[in-house]
Structure 1
Amino acid sequence: MHKADVPRSNEQKSALAAELRTIPINVRRALGIPNIVPDALDIAILTLHEILDESTDGSWESRLGRLPERIEWLFPNGFPADKIAHLSNMSETAMTAELDRHFARFKNGSAQRFLNRLLGTKEFHRLEMAFETDWALILVGFRRLLRAVMPVAQALEDAAFPLSKSELKALAILSESETVYLRLTLQLDQMIGAYFEHRDMSLKGMGFPVRASEEITPSVDLDQLVATMRGLLDLEAERRAGELSEVLLRKLRGFEQALDNSEDGVSQAASSLVEFIDRLLRTAFTRDEILQWTSTHLPGDKLMTFERAGVVQPTKRAAALCFAFAGQTPAYDSTLQTMVALSLVKVRAAAEKIKHADRGTVEEQAELRQLMQSVRGALIFIIRFSWLMGESSRYENLRQRFIKAA
Structure 2
Amino acid sequence: MKDPVVGGDRRSLVAEFIRRLDPDVRTALHFDDAAVMGADLLVSLCRVLMDNTSSQPWQDRLEAFFEEFDLADVETGLDFTVAQMQDRDQMLAWFNSFKGRNYHLFALRLLGAAEYRRLIEAFKADSAVVALALRRGIRALMPFAVAWSDALGNMTEQQRKAISKNDLLGIELTRGIATIDETIGEKVIATLPMQLTAATADDLSNWRPDNLPEIITSVRHRVVESSTKRLERENSQLVRKIRGAKDALMHSEDGISQAANSLIELIDRIMRETFSKREVLAWIEDNLPDEPDLTYEKDNTTLPTKRAEALCFVYRGGPVAREANEHDNGLGPSLIHDTLARAITITRTSLQKFKHDDDGTQEEKDQLLALLTGLEGALLLGLSLSHASSPVTFDHPPVELDA
TM-score range, shorter chain: 0.7 to 0.9
Q: Distance in 2 between matches of 1:17 and 1:96?
A: 19
Q: Distance in 2 between matches of 1:193 and 1:128?
A: 20
1:87 to partner: Cα distance:
2.8
1:143 to 114, 135, 144: 135
The answer (yes or no) to whether the contact 2:15–2:36 under 8 Å persists in 1 is yes
Structure 1 pair 390–13 and aligned structure 2 pair: CA distance change class (3 A): same
Q: Distance in 1 between matches of 2:60 and 2:356?
A: 53
Q: Which moved more, 1:266-275 or 1:341-350?
A: 266-275
Map Cα deviations across residues 126-145 of structure 1 (whole Å, 9 max, x no partner).
Answer: 54444332222111112222
1:317 to partner: Cα distance:
0.3
Q: How high is the TM-score relative to the length of structure 2?
A: 0.78
1:352 to partner: Cα distance:
1.0
Structure 1 pair 278–98 and aligned structure 2 pair: CA distance change class (3 A): closer
Correspondence 1:226-237 to 2 at 5 A: 226-237=216-227
Residue number in structure 2 paired with 1:112: 100
Q: Distance in 2 between matches of 1:270 and 1:129?
A: 60
Q: Distance in 2 between matches of 1:237 and 1:374?
A: 11
The residue type paired with residue 100 of structure 2 is Q
Q: Distance in 1 between matches of 2:359 and 2:27?
A: 77
1:278 to partner: Cα distance:
1.3
Structure 1 pair 288–105 and aligned structure 2 pair: CA distance change class (3 A): same
The residue type paired with residue 199 of structure 1 is T
The residue type paired with residue 193 of structure 2 is M
Structure 1 pair 91–38 and aligned structure 2 pair: CA distance change class (3 A): closer
Q: Distance in 1 between matches of 2:351 and 2:217?
A: 23
- Where 2:100 maps in the other structure, the secondary structure is helix
2:39 to 11, 35, 41: 41
Q: Distance in 1 between matches of 2:74 and 2:118?
A: 31
Residue number in structure 1 paired with 2:289: 299
Residue number in structure 1 paired with 2:327: none
Structure 1 pair 335–163 and aligned structure 2 pair: CA distance change class (3 A): same
Residue number in structure 2 paired with 1:372: 372
1:286 to partner: Cα distance:
0.6
Q: Distance in 1 between matches of 2:105 and 2:235?
A: 68
Residue number in structure 1 paired with 2:12: 14
Correspondence 1:43-62 to 2 at 5 A: 43-62=41-60
Q: Distance in 2 between matches of 1:240 and 1:340?
A: 16
Map Cα deviations across residues 86-134 of structure 1 (whole Å, 9 max, x no partner).
Answer: 939948732655899567634469x512203423484766544443322
Q: Distance in 1 between matches of 2:389 and 2:15?
A: 35
Q: Distance in 2 between matches of 1:99 and 1:10?
A: 34
Q: Distance in 2 between matches of 1:166 and 1:45?
A: 46
Residue number in structure 1 paired with 2:146: 154
Residue 319 (structure 2) pairs with residue 321 (structure 1): no
Residue number in structure 2 paired with 1:275: 265
1:358 to partner: Cα distance:
3.1
Structure 1 pair 11–64 and aligned structure 2 pair: CA distance change class (3 A): same
Q: Distance in 2 between matches of 1:86 and 1:354?
A: 58
1:345 to partner: Cα distance:
0.7
1:202 to 190, 194, 199: 194
The residue type paired with residue 116 of structure 1 is H
Residue 356 (structure 2) pairs with residue 343 (structure 1): no
1:301 to partner: Cα distance:
1.8
Q: Distance in 1 between matches of 2:179 and 2:302?
A: 49
**Structure 2: where are the runs of 5+ without partners?**
1-5, 324-333, 399-403
The answer (yes or no) to whether the contact 2:358–2:364 under 8 Å persists in 1 is no
1:375 to partner: Cα distance:
0.8
Residue 278 (structure 2) pairs with residue 288 (structure 1): yes
The answer (yes or no) to whether the contact 2:155–2:343 under 8 Å persists in 1 is yes
Q: Distance in 2 between matches of 1:36 and 1:301?
A: 47
Residue number in structure 2 paired with 1:93: 82
Correspondence 1:200-279 to 2 at 5 A: 201-203=193-195, 206=196, 208-210=197-199, 213-217=202-206, 221-279=211-269
- Where 1:358 maps in the other structure, the secondary structure is coil
The answer (yes or no) to whether the contact 1:37–1:99 under 8 Å persists in 2 is no
Residue 173 (structure 2) pairs with residue 181 (structure 1): yes
Percent identical: 28
The answer (yes or no) to whether the contact 2:241–2:266 under 8 Å persists in 1 is yes
Map Cα deviations across residues 200-255 of structure 1 (whole Å, 9 max, x no partner).
Answer: 6233xx2x344564344468911111111222222333333344334423321222
1:191 to 180, 183, 189: 183
Q: Distance in 2 between matches of 1:25 and 1:68?
A: 26
Residue number in structure 2 paired with 1:3: none
RMSD (Å) for aligned C-alpha atoms:
3.6
Q: Distance in 2 between matches of 1:126 and 1:339?
A: 52
- Where 1:184 maps in the other structure, the secondary structure is helix
